[in-house]
Amino acid sequence: MSKIATRFAPSPTGPLHIGGVRTALFNWLFSKKKGGIFLLRIEDTDKERSKDEYKDQIIKSLKWIGINYDGNEYIQSSKIDNHIQVAKELLKNGHAYKCYCSSEEIEEQKKRAKQKKIPYIYDRKWRDKKEVDAPKNIEPVIRFKSKIEGSTILKDLVQGDVQIENNTIEDFIILRNDGSPTYNLSVAVDDQQMKVTHIIRGDDHKINTFKQMQIYNAMQWELPNFAHIPLIHTTEGKKLSKRDKASTLDDYSKIGIMPEALRNYLLRLGWSFKDKEIFTLEESIEHFNLEGIGKSPSKLDKSRILSMNEYYIKNISEKDLFDRFNEYCKNYKQVIGANKEDKIKKSLSFLKNKAKSLEDIYNNSKYIIFDEVSFDENDVKLIDEKAKKIIADFRNEVSKEKEIKKETLETIINNLIKKYETNFKGVGQPLRIALTGSKFGPGIYDIMISLGKLDIEKRLKKIT
């Protein structure tokens, strides 16, 4: 058997969404597992809607999540001549014919079918007509001569055998009347020429597969293997579309989801290997198989993504975590100053315990990133006269110390709790607000130690 080759073939007519990314991931994993190659084909033949910006977004997305394709991206529009060539051959072999129906005529037929509530299918009017009868003023389209008799079985690697009556497949157009090839022709020709051995794509392509299989057969090409994976549904249970919110990788990236977490989540969405939930990249390549792909569509679950992200935040190395965080801040929030990097790195050990996302880490580390504390009005109200006294006392005690250590801080705070006849919250909360501007965040000792004596004094002074 020839070398395994898979491909991902998006059209750059909109941003790549998470469903497409999962399809790409499955194809990529499958080829890696089999020691094959994975190709990227940009299907940009719809010149009206294709945009370079989308192409770039697709490439960027794949890169972000760690999917790398072999060779250069294959640009479908640059291969149109090949597609036309095949169409001509099909015409010559009698597997295709010229259809002189005007688009008005077709529209009319569709309308009538709708009124009668019967399914529209092209009536194959020109299939056996002689060309001498052709109207002179109409530029014909080329239609594929689909089989009428019998049925076809698709041996689907995910869905099993799928049988369909051949007469339900119409004589589809392969060349428009402007001479340009249509989707099914281009795809079949490209896949064949790229020597794709396994076509793993969304279930929404299943009908196309039957059309493309006929082209393969007519050209006497060896059929590739097909696997139709169930679609990802929104929480409303509908097919995920480019228009859905929170569907592109950037939508997740900007709320602080890390690529490894999303990759792991997507892997387990519609695929499983026993009870295993966490897969390193190596493990996913090792265990991935088509048998593990489920047959029913699955819904996106944001809390699951977040919890996967939380796992990776806690389990990747702090060095990697810093890199991810640094990049996140740079892209979506605020560049971390060079003088702050060290403090952040040291604080990651406790910051990550409270975070489900990089955004959480950001929110909890603002007190380090920004020199000026920004206060929430409601929180400031919590610092009353008594609290101000406590803060002043605390600052006074701290200034006597040479070095800030947890033990000394504990002693100071405990003494204040006694002196002011309050509890930990009574002392801790005002201090926290004064130092960070927020009621929530890391432990008070962690905050103080990471800030250091000078910053503590400076910040507390402003309050009292």
Partner RNA sequence: GGUCCCUUCGUCUAUCGGUUAGGACACAUGGUUUUCAUCCAUGAAAGAGGGGUUCGAUUCCCCUAGGGACCGCCA
Which residue in the set 318, 443, 455, 464 belongs to the binding site for RNA (CB under 7 A)? 443
Smallest gap, in angstroms, from Cβ of residue 27 to RNA? 15
- Report the alpha-carbon angle 129-132-137, nearest 5: 100
297 binds RNA (CB under 7 A): yes
Asked if 217 and 188 count as a contact pair (C-beta separation under 8 A), the reply is no
Smallest gap, in angstroms, from Cβ of residue 357 to RNA? 12
Closest by CA position to 427, among listed 379, 394, 463 = 394
46 binds RNA (CB under 7 A): yes
Which residue in the set 256, 259, 437, 441 belongs to the binding site for RNA (CB under 7 A)? 441
Residue 199 burial (C-beta neighbours within 10 Å; 0-12, 13-18, 19+):
buried
294 binds RNA (CB under 7 A): yes
Asked if 320 and 303 count as a contact pair (C-beta separation under 8 A), the reply is no
Distance of alpha carbon 155 from alpha carbon 160, whole angstroms: 6
Cβ proximity to RNA: between 36 and 264 the closer is 264
What binding mask, one character per residue, do residues 335-374 give for RNA by CB under 7 A, x or -? ------------------xx--------------------
Task: From 214-222, 297-305, 365-373, 391-399, give the range in contact with RNA by CB under 7 A.
Answer: 297-305
239: left (phi over 0), alpha (psi -120 to 50) or beta: beta
Smallest gap, in angstroms, from Cβ of residue 418 to RNA? 11
Task: From 169-177, 245-253, 334-342, 385-393, give the range in contact with RNA by CB under 7 A.
Answer: 169-177
The Cα-based distances of 82 to 70, 171, 193, 195 in angstroms read: 22, 21, 9, 15
Task: From 31-39, 367-375, 380-388, 438-446, give the range in contact with RNA by CB under 7 A.
Answer: 438-446
Closest by CA position to 105, among listed 132, 131, 140, 146 = 140
163 binds RNA (CB under 7 A): yes
Task: From 29-37, 83-91, 299-307, 374-382, give the range in contact with RNA by CB under 7 A.
Answer: 299-307
Helix 444-451 × helix 406-419 angle, to 10°: 120
Residues between 238 and 257 that touch RNA (CB under 7 A)? 238-239
Residues between 137 and 156 that touch RNA (CB under 7 A)? 141
What binding mask, one character per residue, do residues 95-114 give for RNA by CB under 7 A, x or -? ------xxx--x---x----
Smallest gap, in angstroms, from Cβ of residue 373 to RNA? 17
Neighbours of 122 (CB within 10 A): 18
Distance of alpha carbon 249 from alpha carbon 28, whole angstroms: 17
Asked if 96 and 144 count as a contact pair (C-beta separation under 8 A), the reply is yes
40 binds RNA (CB under 7 A): no
Distance of alpha carbon 130 from alpha carbon 141, whole angstroms: 15
The pair of three-digit structure tokens given for residue 181, joined into one six-digit string: 């090839």
413 binds RNA (CB under 7 A): yes
88 binds RNA (CB under 7 A): no
Cβ proximity to RNA: between 341 and 384 the closer is 384
3-state helix, strand, coil in the chain (%, to 5): 50, 10, 35
DSSP classification of residue 112: H
What binding mask, one character per residue, do residues 176-195 give for RNA by CB under 7 A, x or -? xxx-x-xxx-x---------
Residues between 219 and 238 that touch RNA (CB under 7 A)? 230-231, 233, 237-238
> Hey, what amino acid is at 157?
L
Question: Which residue is associated with the tokens 């806690």?
Answer: 314
275 binds RNA (CB under 7 A): yes
Q: Measured in whole angstroms, how far is the alpha carbon of residue 391 from the centre of its chain?
A: 48
**What do you get for the CA distance between the two ends of the chain, in Å?**
79
Smallest gap, in angstroms, from Cβ of residue 63 to RNA? 21
Task: From 43-51, 55-63, 129-137, 385-393, give the range in contact with RNA by CB under 7 A.
Answer: 43-51
Could you tell me how many residues of this chain bind RNA (CB under 7 A)?
Answer: 86
Smallest gap, in angstroms, from Cβ of residue 183 to RNA? 3
Which residue in the set 6, 27, 31, 45 belongs to the binding site for RNA (CB under 7 A)? 45
76 binds RNA (CB under 7 A): yes
277 binds RNA (CB under 7 A): yes
Long-range contacts, 210-213 (Cβ 8 Å, 24+): 210/152, 210/154, 210/164, 210/169, 211/144, 211/146, 211/169, 211/172, 211/184, 212/184, 212/187, 212/188, 213/152, 213/154
